[in-house]
Chain A
Amino acid sequence: EPEVTQTPSHQVTQMGQEVILRCVPISNHLYFYWYRQILGQKVEFLVSFYNNEISEKSEIFDDQFSVERPDGSNFTLKIRSTKLEDSAMYFCASTAGDLKQYFGPGTRLTVT
């Protein structure tokens, strides 16, 4: 079965540094998402992306965050200047437009 992949599996960075989290969605999918889960808390929606633009974003997704689909296969989440509170597991998901979202295994981001 096709799957969503994410790299790296674990990223450690210092506060104030930029990070880019990478995702390869399923190839024929049209809608892409980023979610995050701070340890012990709920999985939270960050942003959705369709037709090369943001469809919806949450209050968490401020100016420090950006998303891009640079080459038709990758989908990236950039955090420009990381804060300690950005430490979380970040999940990428994609869907063909039905109710089934396929999730990647996640990237654990640790900001020190």
Chain B
Amino acid sequence: GNSVTQMEGPVTLSEEAFLTINCTYTATGYPSLFWYVQYPGEGLQLLLKATKADDKGSNKGFEATYRKETTSFHLEKGSVQVSDSAVYFCALSDPRSGTASKLTFGTGTRLQVTL
């Protein structure tokens, strides 16, 4: 079946450091890929998405590129801020299951940014 593997956390960075959170997936066909973010006390929010190979999703300075050859969707940000401290989840959906198919999540990676 489909699965998502994320790097273990927590990740601790100083403000303005470069961020990479690795995500790889296993799926048959061509899944859509997502990064969700969960701030303390809140629900999961869609951060960015990509629906086909070589697509780059971007939002709020975060980017991720859909790499079919390496089955990866790594999240990057050039300069993190304290306000980016949150848990980040990589996820996929299988379009063969329909237009609103379920999401398959990774374990989540906690990011802590310090001054």
Contacts and interface: CB of A to CB of B under 8 A. Distances in A.
Interface stretch (A12-20, A40-48, A70-78): A40-48
Interface of B: 32, 34, 36, 41-46, 49, 51, 89, 91, 93, 97-108
Given A100-B46, A104-B43, A45 B106 contact: no
A55 B98 contact: yes
A98 interface: yes
Contacts, number: 61
Nearest to B102: A45
A50 B104 contact: no
B98 A101 contact: no
A55 B49 CA distance: 24
Given A43-B89, A43-B108, A103 B43 contact: yes
Which 5 pairs of residues, A with B, have the shortest CB-CB distance? A103-B43, A43-B105, A103-B44, A31-B100, A45-B102
A99 B32 contact: yes
Contacts of B51: 99
A93 B102 CA distance: 10
Contact of A101 (B42, B46, B104, B107): B46
B107 A41 contact: yes
Nearest to A48: B102
Contacts of B44: 43, 91, 93, 103
8 contacts: A42-B108, A43-B89, A55-B98, A56-B101, A99-B93, A101-B46, A101-B103, A103-B43
